[in-house]
Structure 1
Amino acid sequence: MTDIVAFIRERLDEDEQIARAAADQDDEGPVWQVRTVRDKGMYVLGEHQSAPSGRLGFEEDAQTRHVERHDPARALAQVAAIRHVVERLDVLQKDLEASLD
């Protein structure tokens, strides 16, 4: 089980690093929101943005909602939750192995 635990931990580290970088970029903040900008379409804006930067505009509502739903704040919360589960499972696995010895 240690191989899968190591693999999951590595992916969580990557996810955390990407989410933190996205949250810190241009001081946009970790919470993203969908806003409709007149004559420009739908954009995902960081909590500290008042106007789109032109980087995350989508014509499709589903695409915009998907990006908003997976903002850095959510990604970091998900990483923390999965880390907690992995740590607990790792402890349980070690306890089980010790009891069988």
Structure 2
Amino acid sequence: MGDTSEILSFIRARLDEDEQAAMRAAGTFGGDAVWRRNTLADPDYPADHVLVIFQRVIPAGLPGDDEAPLRVDELDHIAGHDPARVLAEVNAKRRILERHPGATATDECPGCSAWLDGTWRTPPGTLCPEQVDMALPYAGHADYRPEWRPT
């Protein structure tokens, strides 16, 4: 039997941490939450890919430049996970949690209440599979419990 209140609290705490980290990152660079990768049309500069964060331009290193702080693929990853995206993802996950508050000792999870093959998808006293999946990216956190792993 799963303790739905503990996994729900765990997920909410991680989402709060993600939100705070995104807000701090956005605030570091003038409050701009949208970061983007651009090409730089400057013939005097040999690298043509840069990460633009507010008014800061971070160039990608050239192939073979071991001293460069970031490569093009790393810039793409950073730009793809900018604070705006993280904040949107946190809000989306919070909406999912509103629909999937988890099962109680006597009732199934309202968001999962589907009768499949003669059984409830999330019977009373079991963990909501949506919550289990949402907790999984945080499996490396000290408070993550092994029993929350998807089966």
- For Structure 1 versus Structure 2, the TM-score category normalised by the shorter chain is 0.7 to 0.9
Which consecutive residues of structure 1, in runs of 5 or more, have no partner in the other structure?
none
Structure (1/2) with the larger helix percentage: 1
Residue 19 of structure 2 contacts residue 87 of structure 2 at CA under 8 Å; is this kept in 1? yes
2-side partners of 1:27 and 1:82: how far apart? 26
Match of residue 87 from structure 1: 98
Q: Which of structures 1 and 2 has the bigger CA Rg?
A: 2
The answer to whether the aligner puts 1:44 opposite 2:55 as a matched pair is no
Cα distance in 1 for residues equivalent to 2:32 and 2:6:
34
Question: What is the 5 A alignment of 1:12-23?
Answer: 12-23=15-26
Deviations 1:41-84 (A, max 9, x none): 633222x31x4268xx512x211111010000000000000011
Within 1, Cα distance between the matches of 2:99 and 2:34?
A: 28
CA-CA distance at 1:26 after TM superposition:
3.0
Q: What stretches of structure 2 of length at least 5 have no aligned partner?
A: 60-68, 109-123, 125-151
Equivalent residue, structure 1, for 2:8: 5
SS of equivalent to 2:52: strand
Counterpart among 51, 74, 77 of residue 88 in structure 2? 77
Aligned AA for 1:93?
Answer: A
State the number of aligned residues.
Answer: 92
Tell me how far apart the structure 1 counterparts of residues 9 and 30 of structure 2 sit (CA, whole Å).
32
In 1: Cα distance, 2:35 partner to 2:17 partner: 20
> Could you say if the C-alpha distance between residues 41 and 58 of structure 1 is closer, same or farther in structure 2, counting changes exceeding 3 Å?
farther
TM-score, normalized by length of structure 1?
0.75
